[in-house]
Structure 1
Amino acid sequence: MNLEEYFQRIGFDGPFDRVDLAALRSIHKLHVMSIPFENLSIHCGEWITMDLEAIFQKLVRSSRGGWCLENNYLFGWVLREMGFSVTMLGSRVFNSVINDFAPGEEHLINMVEIDGKAYIADVSFGVSSQIREPLELISGKDQPQAAGVFRLTDKGDIWVLEKTGRKPVESRVGFIVLRGWSAGEGVSHPPTEPCRRSLKLIKGMSW
């Protein structure tokens, strides 16, 4: 694995020696635009693993997309290799069907610290609530982006991310620090039929 291959995959042409907010924004946006959130592997019975080498092979060298776990795990590695201070976070996605957050941390994101400020980086939420650029971790501040206006709110024991603007509330994500996460486990999903051609995305859920 090397950064040059990743940079070529997303179309990033530098500068390569800057560890600042401008570089983070550029790489974040390019990743979102180049490496999609996709779940084709579960429809094709492919083994899904959190081995970084396998993820790099799939997303970079094979020009595939991946789940949030794959995309954001790879993105966190890229940022650390560049010299950024990165903390991996687990999050719970708001499920509009049950009108509550999912019971477990099923979505992976990264927190990046730059010049004393923290930013949330999430390159693979998918659907209409995908952020194009990192969000500053500050409570109650509206942060407009192409997809709408995003707002992070400190609820005491968790932070909640809401998308507002075009619609009152489109999706919510609560996140906490993820501890003891094992990156070497894999999951196999045997298909019920060969590689389905149509996929259904459910708003408000990450998988």
Structure 2
Amino acid sequence: MSLNISAPVSDLPEAPLDLDAYFSRIAYTGSREVSVETLHGIVERHVLTIPFENLDPLMQRPVRLDSASIQQKLIHDRRGGYCFEQNGLLLLALETLGFEVRPLSARVKIGYPREQVTPRTHLIVRIELEGMSWLADVGVGGLSPTAALRLVTDEPQPTPHETRRIVKSGSLYYHQALLQGEWQDLYEMTLEEMPLIDREVANWFTSTHPGSRFRNLLMVSRAAPDGVRLTMLNDEFSIRDANGVAKKHLIGSKQEMLDLLAEHFGVNLSPDDPIVCPAVPWLAE
């Protein structure tokens, strides 16, 4: 007797991208030609429009990575999501336009020392274009770059927001951002591809493991014009200007949080939605 242990990673069918609906969602009206200009334009509009957020894990809702679910949530329901959803949508959009793209894995280093081994739970997009390799990432929270980056080392690369660079140490590459005059690691890469099955496994850990940041912290962010970043971290809302100076406001209630989500991030939730976050006293279980 043979045992068939193969199974699809999702019970839902894959769906082609509705490119017009995606471009309407991010208010992109530029060229659809396969070019560096198009790549930069889509990345910037995506990060300015679709918020990074981890609300579903805090509401005990599954995070699905099939194309139909990602489109329904991020485009039609006008929600946000985290890296597997955000960069999954970007990957699908660029593929649909005819870009040569590949999904890459990374280990997030924000808030961790470089020597600490963190889970391989981040997705980025590699693009081969005009004889050059590029990296795009619309899903690294409040520091998602608003332009694609050339895959070259030790060269500062200005973006509409923070300056970035990629450095190499041994066999590892590090994406860094220049924050208030200091280079800080965002994540570590080997440039290894991350097929959908690996993303499904990492997504399951990220969204369900009791020790995951995404089950313990409330994180919502979006870039705004003129170098501004909007961030909600637990019970604190902040507006950071292009110089890195942040105006912070303590959120005092769930209703105030819901109002801020709607006003600044375009996320509309019901007061009856059961959000549980251990780091927020008035959302603690």
TM-score, reference length from structure 2: 0.63
Query: Greater relative contact order: 1 or 2 (C-alpha under 8 angstroms, separation 6 or more)?
Result: 1
Q: CA 1:52–1:125 in structure 2 vs 1: closer, same or farther (change >3 Å)? A: same
Q: Read off the aligned partner of 1:73 and give its amino acid letter.
A: G
Which residue of the partner structure matches residue 204 of structure 1?
none
User: Secondary structure in 1 aligned to 2:184?
Assistant: coil
1:13 aligned to 2:12? no
User: Which residue does 1:136 correspond to in 2?
Assistant: 150
Q: Is residue 165–residue 175 contact of structure 2 (8 Å, CA) maintained in 1?
A: yes
User: Which of 115, 118, 135 is 2:130 aligned to?
Assistant: 115
Taking a change above 3 Å as real, the CA distance of residues 101 and 161 of structure 1, as seen in their structure-2 partners, is farther
Provide Cα deviations, 1:102-139, integer angstroms capped at 9, x if missing partner: 43311100011111101110011112x32110111111
Q: Please, what is the CA RMSD of the aligned residues? A: 2.6
| 1:159-196 Cα deviation digits (max 9, x unpaired) | 11111252413333111212454156674649899214
CA distance in structure 1 between the aligned counterparts of 2:127 and 2:116, rounded to whole angstroms? 24
Runs of 4+ in structure 1 deviating by more than 3 angstroms, as ranges, are 95-103, 183-193, 196-200
In structure 1, how many angstroms separate the alpha carbons of the residues matched to 2:25 and 2:126? 23
Preserved CA contact (<8 Å) 2:82 2:141: no
* Aligned counterpart for 1:153 among listed residues 126, 145, 167: 167
Unaligned runs of 5+ in 1: 201-207
Which of 178, 181, 196 aligns to 1:164? It is 178
Partner residue of 1:203? none
How far 1:67 sits from its partner (Å)? 0.8
Counterpart CA distance in 2 for 1:7 and 1:95 is 30
Aligned counterpart in structure 1 of residue 94 of structure 2, from 73, 79, 89: 79
Which of 47, 55, 58 pairs up with 1:43?
58
What is the letter of the counterpart of residue 155 of structure 1? S
Q: Is the 8 A contact 2:123 2:194 kept in 1?
A: no
Change (3 A) 1:57 1:149: same
Instruction: Give, as a single letter, the amino acid of the residue that structure 2 aligns with 1:143.
Output: Q
Q: Secondary structure at the match of 1:45?
A: coil
**Could you tell me which of 261, 264, 274 is aligned with 1:194?**
274
> What does 1:20-59 correspond to in 2, within 5 Å?
20-59=35-74
Tell me how many residue pairs correspond in the alignment.
198
Pick aligned residue for 1:100 from 90, 93, 115: 115
| Rg (Cα) greater in structure | 2
8 Å contact 1:43–1:196 — kept in the other structure? yes
Q: 1:178 to 1:104 in 2, by over 3 A?
A: farther
SS in 2 for 1:88: strand
Aligned partners of 1:184, 1:81: CA distance in 2, in Å?
22
**Would the aligned equivalents of 1:44 and 1:195 in 2 still touch at CA under 8 Å?**
yes
The aligned amino acid for 2:274 is P
- Which runs of no fewer than 5 residues in structure 2 stay unpaired? 1-16, 217-272, 281-285
Rounded to whole Å, the distance in 2 between the matches of 1:37 and 1:51 is 18
